[in-house]
């Protein structure tokens, strides 16, 4: 009988991070082909401030913490797997450690700024321009529902196109293969099967609690919230700067709502949750690939390293999930 688990994870560069309510483990394939296991000792801020563990709020907090922790894990895996060995080339050997750190920090800041700017253009300016163009072409105004639907459809199209394009990159494809290994291993664990390469290989690679599904859910839920705001305050949409501000303020609410819906879809299996999960599961055909055996070994090692002391309790369908990471 299939059981629920609160374990989630993230595919890394030649490795996988797995997180349970008790601990977070990283398994990385070293250049010598051995598997390195390390742990994150960081505690969630939700443990210190209980109010942050309330529904909706916990989704926002969890999303931010997952982004920060995921970035750190990615950097650790890149370093341990030898992916960053190019930094040891002769030209960079002449740089002091302080200069290297400063250079990396500058690059990170530039990357964040450019990333935010690109996100604003693609996910805020572009959808609005498309709607304005369609209104001009058809010489008519659209209802709030139609406007929101068109805008979110543009965002969804941009997101899917981006994911599809990067999937052709060799290094990204390997990450997607590790992503598939991660999902298969968690499915094997949820079924209570022995964690072997053979058992894991037989599992599906599409999981309803995947972070990919979360991104799709956020876009779809945005339609509902954007429509409601336009119905209550119809003039807001026509004041561009105010509408942008409203959209930004809605992000935490949409994020929190998406988190709660994702948890429900991962916990229950019925016609409603299947319909809700369908778009995210479809997109996982791009973001997950069939893994190699050595990748499955990494996923098994990561899951075993973070497995709770009492696995049967974690796999109980009746267990209340606390302090979990659903980014799988």
Q: Following DSSP, what letter does each residue of 12-64 receive, concatenated?
A: ETTEEEEE-SS-EEEEEE-TTSPEEEEEE-PPPHHHH-GGGGSTTHHHHHHHH
Q: What is the pLDDT of residue 114?
A: 60
| Candidate ranges 25-29, 68-72, 128-132; pick with highest mean pLDDT | 25-29
> Taking residues 287-299, what's their average pLDDT?
94
- Residue 129 pLDDT greater than 50, yes or no: yes
List C-alpha distances in Å: 171 to 78, 177, 181: 11, 10, 16
Q: What tens digit of pLDDT does each residue of 183-206 get?
A: 999 999 988 899 999 999 999 999
Rounded Cα distance, 79 and 198, in Å: 30
Q: What tens digit of pLDDT does each residue of 135-149 get?
A: 888 888 888 888 888
Rounded Cα distance, 290 and 84, in Å: 25
Domain ranges of the chain: 8-308
Q: What is the pLDDT of residue 183?
A: 94
| Average pLDDT of every residue of the chain | 80
Rounded Cα distance, 184 and 138, in Å: 48
- The candidate with the shortest Cα–Cα distance to 280, out of 221, 201, 203, is 221
- The candidate with the shortest Cα–Cα distance to 324, out of 314, 313, 312, is 314
Beta bridge partners of 9: 18
pTM score: 0.76
Residue 235 has phi, psi (to 5 degrees) of -85, -15
What's the pLDDT band for 120 if we cut at 50, 70, 90?
A: low
> Taking residues 22-27, what's their average pLDDT?
90
List C-alpha distances in Å: 127 to 7, 148, 154, 319: 36, 9, 6, 41
- The candidate with the shortest Cα–Cα distance to 328, out of 219, 205, 173, 161, is 205
> Taking residues 114-134, what's their average pLDDT?
74
């Amino acid at each position: 009988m299939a059981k629920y688990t609160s374990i989630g994870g993230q595919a890394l560069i030649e490795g996988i991070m797995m997180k349970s309510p008790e601990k977070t483990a990283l398994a990385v394939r070293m250049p010598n082909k051995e598997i390195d296991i390390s742990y994150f000792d960081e505690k969630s801020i939700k443990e210190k401030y209980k109010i942050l563990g309330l529904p909706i709020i916990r989704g926002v907090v969890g999303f931010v913490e997952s982004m920060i922790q995921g970035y750190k894990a990615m950097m650790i895996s890149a370093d341990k797997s030898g992916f960053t060995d190019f930094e040891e080339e002769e030209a960079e050997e002449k740089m002091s450690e302080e200069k290297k750190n400063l250079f990396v920090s500058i690059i990170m800041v530039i990357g964040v700024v450019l990333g935010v700017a690109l996100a604003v253009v693609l996910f805020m300016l572009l959808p609005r321009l498309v709607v304005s163009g369609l209104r001009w072409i058809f010489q008519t105004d659209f209802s709030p529902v139609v406007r929101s639907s068109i805008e979110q459809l543009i965002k969804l199209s941009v997101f899917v196109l981006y994911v599809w394009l990067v999937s052709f990159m060799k290094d990204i494809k390997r990450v997607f293969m590790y992503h598939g290994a991660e999902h298969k291993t968690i499915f094997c664990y949820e079924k209570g099967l022995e964690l072997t390469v053979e058992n894991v290989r037989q599992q599906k690679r599409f999981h309803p609690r995947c972070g990919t599904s979360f991104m799709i859910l956020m876009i779809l839920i945005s339609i509902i919230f954007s429509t409601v705001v336009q119905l209550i305050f119809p003039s807001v949409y026509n004041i561009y700067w105010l509408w942008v501000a409203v959209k930004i303020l809605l992000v935490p609410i949409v994020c929190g709502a998406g988190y709660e819906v994702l948890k429900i879809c991962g916990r229950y299996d019925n016609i409603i949750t299947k319909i809700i999960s369908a778009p995210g599961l479809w997109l996982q055909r791009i973001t997950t690939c069939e893994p190699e055996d050595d990748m499955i070994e990494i996923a098994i090692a990561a899951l075993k390293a973070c497995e709770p002391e009492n696995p049967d309790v974690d796999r109980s369908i009746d267990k209340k999930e606390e302090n979990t990471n659903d980014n799988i």
